Structure 1
Amino acid sequence: MLEEEKPENLASTWEEAIKEQQQVRQSQREEKEKRDVTQELKRLLDIPLKVEVVIGSTTLTIGELLSLVPGSVVELNRNVDEPVDIYVNGKLLAKGEIVIVEERFGVRITRIVEKEDRIRSLSS
């Protein structure tokens, strides 16, 4: 003959079972939310963005501009060792340095602009 469980043991067993069920449901909800976020992010991954690397700038008069010929040198406002600006869709995102890889130019990112500065630049 089976022994009957005491009411306090039965209550404890039910309490543990309910807690375990809640944990499983919470885990399932979190996993579903992760999948949903991942799916949403995947939709964004193929959106093209315009990336520009600015090595410097200058101001010319119309006369100076019209006098440019092949071989002319235009002086920019930066030194060779200064970092270049990296813009994404017209907003400053990072600083970097110019590199040459197999006779092609590239840029090595050396610093990402602070989050607060990026947010501030979105409003301008």
Structure 2
Amino acid sequence: MAEEEKNQQENQENQENQEEKSQEELAKEWEEALKQQQESSSGEGESEEDIMSAWEEALKQQQGESSSEAESEEEVSEEIPEELKEEQERFELLKDIPLEITVEIGSASLPLEEILRLHPNSIVELDRYVNEPVDIKINGRLVAKGKLYTVKENFGIKITQIITPEERLKLLEE
């Protein structure tokens, strides 16, 4: 037993010595690499000051380009005809008007007799399937179709289709 413990201690000491040597070798390699890097950077003739001045020039050029872009944008805005500017101003006035959005999940027609028999827990069957898109109306006009979702504890709608004026006319004809 004592011999085994001695052998283990000797093995550990050998490993530690090897690790120390490998760390020393690693340090020497790093030192050499740093020297080479310093020699190559000094050989290129670019000092930190040269690099900084190059960066400053690039920054000035970039700032000059951005100011010329801003000037060209101003020129483009001056090219907009007066009629369009007036329309944009009128549209800006309308943007904050509140509109009522209604989501219609379905409908049903019931005779008065059945309506009078409705009570809590009554179920009214609608004319749509669960998978069918719901109608999204703004101020009573159909403008889109969507899919009903629940978001946390509230309902939400994912708009799947915007109804064009032509499609609205077709729906009115039906």
Shared fold per TM-score greater than 0.5: yes
Are the structure 2 counterparts of residues 66 and 111 from structure 1 closer, same or farther at C-alpha, using a change threshold of 3 Å?
A: same
The residue aligned with 1:51 is 101
The residue aligned with 1:8 is none
Are the structure 2 counterparts of residues 34 and 101 from structure 1 closer, same or farther at C-alpha, using a change threshold of 3 Å?
A: same
Partner residue of 1:95 out of 145, 153, 167 = 145
Q: Quick check: which one's helix share is greater?
A: 2
Cα deviations across residues 52-75 of structure 1 (Å, max 9, x unaligned)?
Answer: 111001111111101111111100
- In structure 1, give the amino acid aligned to 2:96: D
Are the structure 2 counterparts of residues 63 and 101 from structure 1 closer, same or farther at C-alpha, using a change threshold of 3 Å?
A: same
**CA RMSD in angstroms, aligned pairs only:** 2.6
Q: CA deviation at 1:26?
A: 8.6
Are the structure 2 counterparts of residues 26 and 75 from structure 1 closer, same or farther at C-alpha, using a change threshold of 3 Å?
A: closer
Q: Distance in 2 between matches of 1:26 and 1:106?
A: 40
Q: Structure 2: which 5+ residue stretches go unaligned? A: 1-74
TM-score by length of 1: 0.67
Larger-Rg structure: 2
Does 1 or 2 have the higher relative contact order (CA < 8 Å, sep 6+)? 1
Q: Structure 1: which 5+ residue stretches go unaligned? A: 1-24
Alignment of 1:112 onto 2:125: no
Q: In the comparison of the two structures, how many residue pairs are matched?
A: 98
TM-score by length of 2: 0.49
Cα deviations across residues 5-54 of structure 1 (Å, max 9, x unaligned)?
Answer: xxxxxxxxxxxxxxxxxxxx996241755544332221101111111111
